[in-house]
């Protein structure tokens, strides 16, 4: 459960690193919620009626989309950091036709083992706080 919530807790945190699993699960979650909200609003229906269900779904959709975009961008930057690459390489997606291919290769290749210039290895678990380290030596 922690793996599912971690990217949402780090919504605006561009620092640190993210695992491939965390990055992939965030995308699956975002697309699943977008699909459910779209179904709730009736996007794609041919009917002309506007209902309360559609209005509520549209409101949630308008709230979720910007939050989801920010979460996906920050997770992408942290995923690049795991490969010891700068977050600016996220702009590779803007290159027409082939940019997203280079980006996918970068984010789905294994991250650097151990600590790199962007922080500790997230596969080793959460880094202990200074208070926890102090308890060991007290």
Q: What confidence score (pLDDT) does residue 68 get? A: 93
Tens of pLDDT, residues 25-82:
999 999 999 998 888 777 656 566 667 777 777 888 889 999 999 999 999 999 898 8
Domain count, the chain: 1
H-assigned helices in the chain = 2-9, 20-41, 52-82, 99-108, 130-136
**Quick one: pLDDT at residue 27?**
92
Q: Measured between alpha carbons, how far apart are the two ends of the chain, in Å?
A: 33
Give the domain range for residue 7.
2-136
* DSSP code for 126: P
> What pLDDT score was predicted for residue 55?
78
**Per-residue confidence band for 13, with pLDDT thresholds at 50, 70 and 90:** confident
Predicted confidence (pLDDT) per residue in 96-133, tens digit: 888 888 888 888 888 888 888 787 777 776 665 566 66
């Amino acid at each position: 459960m922690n793996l599912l919530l971690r990217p949402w807790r780090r919504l605006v945190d561009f620092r640190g690193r993210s695992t491939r699993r965390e990055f992939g699960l965030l995308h699956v979650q975002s697309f699943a919620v977008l699909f459910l909200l779209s179904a709730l609003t009736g996007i794609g229906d041919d009917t002309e009626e506007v209902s309360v269900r559609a209005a509520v779904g549209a409101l949630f959709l308008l709230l979720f989309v910007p939050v989801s975009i920010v979460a996906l961008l920050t997770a992408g930057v942290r995923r690049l950091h795991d490969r010891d690459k700068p977050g600016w390489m996220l702009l590779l997606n803007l290159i027409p036709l082939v940019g997203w291919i280079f980006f996918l290769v970068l984010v789905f290749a294994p991250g650097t083992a151990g600590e790199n210039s962007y922080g500790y290895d997230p596969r080793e678990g959460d880094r202990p706080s200074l208070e926890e380290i102090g308890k060991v030596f007290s």
